A and B are shown apart, each in its own frame.
Chain A
Amino acid sequence: MPSQADLKELGEHLHRLLLGQASPVITGRIAEIFLPELLRRLPRIFPTVADQHLIANCAEDALLEYLERPEKFDPARGSLLTYLRLLARSRLLNELGRKNAAGRQEVVAVEEAETVYEVAGGAEWDESVRLSEQQTEQRIAAKLLPIVTDPTDRQVLNLMLDGVRETGAYAAILGITERPMAEQQRIVKQHKDRIRKLVRRKWRRGGRQV
């Protein structure tokens, strides 16, 4: 389990990777971690808003806005989650304001006196990020663990699902770090291919019933 310090840096780390266009999976990792958290927090900020679809829509649009223009986020001013929350909050207030002007809804927003995206309760949201990530992982792991039963395969699988690319990380699990790099890469690829094949075959043959 990563430490609080690790979690605090997660948003910045993913943000840097996104800016650097280093990987095609970064957008997926960011969405998996931060969207569920936004969806949990926004209803607490707007307890009188019954339209959950509207809340979800604003959270999604906030995330898309960030992914579209990540350079607007300044990590020096606060956390990524707080930034996303403010984007979502702004969108939601605009939507609710429009409805309110039409006499359709009374808007009550709780908390949020922040005018810039300062970190409020860093440890609290770090924990929330961790839980969001865990929930997504658990959702997938719950279905994969009955399929991948070998402990070593499970460790390799976890690295794959975490988006880890370094051969050394896999080589350490497989106990082949002393071998030449080219051989490590070949063996690691073989293991990955075999695990993918195993999951696909068992899933197709009825793993979905697990």
Chain B
Amino acid sequence: MSEQMTPNPLRSLTRKLRSDPRYMAYVLDAYRRQESLSDEDLAETLGILPELVVRLEMCLRPNADSPLFPEQVSELADFSLTDEAQLAGILRQVDSLEKLAEHPGAEAEVETRDDVRLGLNLSGLLAAARDREDDAGVDVPTDAPPAAGGSAADEGPAEDD
């Protein structure tokens, strides 16, 4: 059964979910826009099949402030074969930008919250979010955003080959 014969019926659904902050579709779309990635680039960045990106998009977004966050990220990573640390980094990056957008100091750079959701004019906020994560010592090792391509860690020795 080829993908050409049976296009994934879930893609259209995930496009609808991109406007709903409760879903991973929203998070990944926000990240994609922040990093100026195409859909294909996003799959490449995550290093997973496009079908698994769609699968991930349909899942609920873990709350970064919840004690269950690590477990839920782990569950999402297993379900979509995503790198756990990279996924946590993406979630925290999008979270940070949302919080920065709500901060009064960010008003000059972000006109509306919708701008953030659409990922518009966010270069300054993005840099600030990264700085903040660095300062906080967020555990985002190998494939953490903002690296759009593969990281050096991915090209390391293939101990599992």
Contacts and interface: CB of A to CB of B under 8 A. Distances in A.
Q: DSSP majority for the A interface?
A: helix
Contacts of A157: 81
Contacts of B84: 193, 196
Interface stretch (A6-14, A28-36, A111-119): A28-36
A37 to B, nearest CB: 10
Interface stretch (A88-96, A98-106, A122-130, A199-207): A199-207
B62 A24 contact: yes
A80 interface: no
Given A60-B13, A139-B1, A32 B81 contact: no
Interface string A16-56: 00000001111110011001100100000000000000001
B154 interface: yes
A31 B79 contact: no
Contacts of A160: 78-79, 81
B55 interface: yes
A27 B23 contact: yes
A4 interface: no
Interface stretch (A69-77, A140-148, A173-181): A140-148
A108 interface: no
Interface stretch (B29-37, B69-77, B121-129): B69-77
Contacts of B159: 194
Contacts of B62: 24
Q: Report the contact-size class of chain A (Cβ under 8 Å from the partner).
A: 35 or more
A139 B9 contact: no
Contacts, number: 113
A28 B56 contact: yes
A63 interface: yes
A60 B17 CA distance: 10
Q: Report the contact-size class of chain B (Cβ under 8 Å from the partner).
A: 35 or more
Contacts of B61: 24
B158 A201 contact: yes
A198 B72 contact: no
Contacts of B52: 140
A107 interface: no
A208 B46 CA distance: 13
Contacts of A200: 47-48, 81, 83, 154
Interface string B108-144: 0000000000000000000000000000000000000
Interface string B1-16: 1010010111011001
B64 interface: no
A155 interface: no
Given A27-B60, A199-B48, A139 B75 contact: no
Interface of B: 1, 3, 6, 8-10, 12-13, 16-17, 23-24, 44, 47-49, 51-52, 55-56, 58-62, 72, 75-79, 81-84, 150, 154, 158-161
For the complex of A and B, the 5 pairs showing the least CB-CB separation, nearest first, are: A200-B47, A28-B58, A24-B60, A160-B78, A25-B79
Interface of A: 23-28, 31-32, 35-36, 39, 56-57, 60, 63-64, 135-136, 138-140, 142-144, 157, 160-161, 163, 165, 192-201, 203-204, 208
